[in-house]
Amino acid sequence: MNCMLDLGHNQLQQLPDAMGDLAGLSGYLYLHDNRLTSIPQSMERLKRLKYLNLSENALSAFPEAVCGMIGLIELRLTDNQIHKLPDPIENLSSLRELHLRNNKLTTLPASVGKLSELRQLDLRGSPLTSLPETISVMPKLEKLDLRWVASLPWPDWIKGLEAHGCILYR
């Protein structure tokens, strides 16, 4: 049985440290459409959580605690102000979908290429200037969404993704 907690649309500005004590939370955690600028580091203990939605908040930094949520299958951080992803994002080895639309990302760390289960990567609307070549060897990537990214020069390796069946939205 998957447990779910929906705290979306509440204008929350912060979360209590006790959020990390919700060890039984194994399904969905909706925190979208609030005013969060960070999440407690204690939330890294939510190892069984499968789906996390932190979209439409005021996050300027990728929450480091998320890198400890090793059970995540889907992560949504759209419509924030995130400038960079941390290298430990590679810890999310079960992640299948990563939604980062409309952030302030100009590049991604090479470690994103170690997300071997990733199927969808949504980078729409971010001011990307480069992408790591490690994306080209992601074995299960099915969809790379780069619409509304006018600042990105297209790397040569991107054609190889399409040749392997990855749908590329530009």
For 9-91, where are the alpha helices, taking DSSP H only?
A: none
* SS3 assignment, position 42: helix
Q: What is the CATH number of domain 85-170?
A: 3.80.10.10
Q: Where are the domains of the chain?
A: 1-82, 85-170
How many whole angstroms separate alpha carbon 98 and alpha carbon 42? 22
Residue 27's alpha-carbon distances to 51, 117, 159, in angstroms, are: 6, 18, 36
Whether 119 shows a pLDDT value over 70: the answer reads: yes
Which residues are CB-neighbours of 126 under 8 A, at least 6 positions away? 100, 101, 102, 103, 104, 105, 106, 149
Residue 96's alpha-carbon distances to 35, 151, 158, in angstroms, are: 26, 26, 20
Query: Same CATH fold, 85-170 and 1-82?
Result: yes
Could you report the per-residue pLDDT of 72-114, keeping only the tens digit for each? 999 999 999 999 999 999 999 999 999 999 999 999 999 999 9
Higher pLDDT, 151 or 54: 54
Amino acid residing at 43: M
Residue 65 confidence class, pLDDT cut points 50, 70, 90: very high
122-150 burial code (b ≥16 CB/10 A, e <16): bbbbbebeebeebbbebeebeebbbeebe
In words, the CATH class of domain 1-82 is alpha beta
Element (DSSP H or E) covering residue 159: helix 158-163
Locate 23 and state its tokens.
């060890």
Whether 1 shows a pLDDT value over 70: the answer reads: no
pLDDT score at 26: 94
